[in-house]
């Protein structure tokens, strides 16, 4: 059996915030005023979309899910597996998949999948695996990311500014795909690499059993320089394995979708891996780091230009630390 992606959808909140506006807000909210234009220069991010107060992770995912179902010509009741695969969620319990399913009107087996910025690609892989195992026939994989909610509103000193810096790259978005059996093409290859010894590099400490309460633990904190070093050290190896296993070179792909944190990170990725920049879809400058929605938004952007037989390489990078690739051939 071949399993592929038959519907794609994405959704961006209406509100747009420039990086200059964000930096002004951070300067007003803390004791340290950052040099004018600093965040834009260091990240290459010009603007990003921010969810409104009444919009949640499930809200962004709901819009994307409807778009994906429309793209596939399906009704919500045609789906028998719903995975909410996201780093963000509405609450600790119940699973956000249930909140989304109630709003969508589907009756599928519903659960959450979470693995930082790799959640969405992990969700696609899990959906494929359950279909191949005969546990599902058609899956809807959805992410709704609201990482703007974990940006620290101001910094007390330069040490706090450094630990909070990665949070100021974030933007909000939703994405979704329909995954089901196909006659031709489909998902050709999946690979993963995990280096859990680096789990302390960055994250959001609050909401679990270690720090169940306290606003201090609800802001993203991390060492972006150390995280970049880990990805540089181990990232190229997985791409070499994919090339060896599939026989596909970079020029054999119509597009290459890569998780994007900042523009300098992306430029360094191109330098280290040799991936042709003209195969990429650069979203970070206009949308920031959309966490696990990044690859889904990119897929929705390029989908109209793909034809049957076109291959797409997905490369996900997630805190923890995990790296994931997926090769998909358009049916």
Residues marked as catalytic: 117, 259, 289
Strands (E) in the chain, as ranges, are 2-11, 16-18, 47-49, 81-85, 109-113, 139-145, 173-182, 186-194, 202-203, 221-222, 255-258, 311-318, 322-329
* Whole-Å CA distances, 130 to 98, 122, 137: 19, 12, 8
283 alpha carbon, distance to own chain's centre: 12
Least Cα distance to 111 among 234, 41, 119, 307 occurs for 119
Which pair of structure tokens corresponds to residue 130? 């359950």
Which pair of structure tokens corresponds to residue 1? 């059996």
Cα dihedral 28, 29, 34, 38, rounded to 10, equals -90
**Interhelix angle 224-246/263-273, nearest 10 degrees:** 40
| Enclosing H/E stretch for 13 | none
């Amino acid at each position: 059996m071949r399993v592929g992606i038959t519907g794609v959808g994405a959704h961006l909140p209406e509100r747009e915030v420039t990086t200059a506006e964000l930096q002004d807000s951070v300067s007003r909210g803390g004791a340290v005023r950052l040099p004018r234009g600093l965040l834009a220069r260091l990240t290459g991010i010009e603007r990003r979309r921010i969810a409104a107060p009444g919009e949640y992770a499930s809200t962004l995912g709901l819009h994307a899910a409807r778009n994906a179902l429309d793209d596939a010509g399906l009704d919500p009741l045609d789906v028998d597996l719903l995975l909410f695969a996201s780093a963000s969620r509405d609450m600790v319990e119940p699973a956000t998949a249930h909140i989304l399913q109630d709003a969508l009107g589907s009756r599928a087996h519903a659960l959450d999948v979470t693995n930082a910025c790799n959640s969405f690609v992990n969700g696609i892989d899990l959906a494929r695996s359950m279909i191949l195992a005969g546990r599902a026939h058609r899956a809807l994989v959805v992410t709704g990311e609201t990482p703007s909610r974990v940006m620290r509103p101001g910094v007390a000193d330069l040490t706090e500014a450094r630990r909070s810096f990665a949070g100021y790259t974030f933007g909000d978005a939703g994405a979704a795909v329909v995954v089901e059996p196909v006659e031709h093409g489909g998902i050709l290859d999946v690979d993963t690499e995990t280096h859990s010894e680096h789990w302390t590099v960055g994250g959001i400490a609050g909401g679990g059993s270690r720090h169940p309460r306290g606003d201090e633990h609800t802001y993203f904190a991390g060492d972006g320089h150390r995280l970049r070093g880990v990805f540089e050290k181990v990232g190229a190896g997985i791409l070499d394995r994919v090339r060896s296993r599939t026989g596909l070179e970079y020029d054999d792909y119509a597009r290459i979708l890569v998780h994007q944190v900042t523009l300098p990170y992306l430029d360094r990725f191109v330098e280290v891996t040799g991936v042709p920049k003209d195969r990429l879809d650069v979203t970070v400058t206009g949308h920031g780091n959309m966490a696990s929605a990044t690859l889904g938004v990119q897929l929705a952007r390029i989908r109209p230009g793909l034809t049957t037989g076109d291959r797409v390489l997905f490369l996900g990078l997630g805190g923890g630390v995990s790296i994931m690739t997926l090769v998909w051939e358009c049916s």
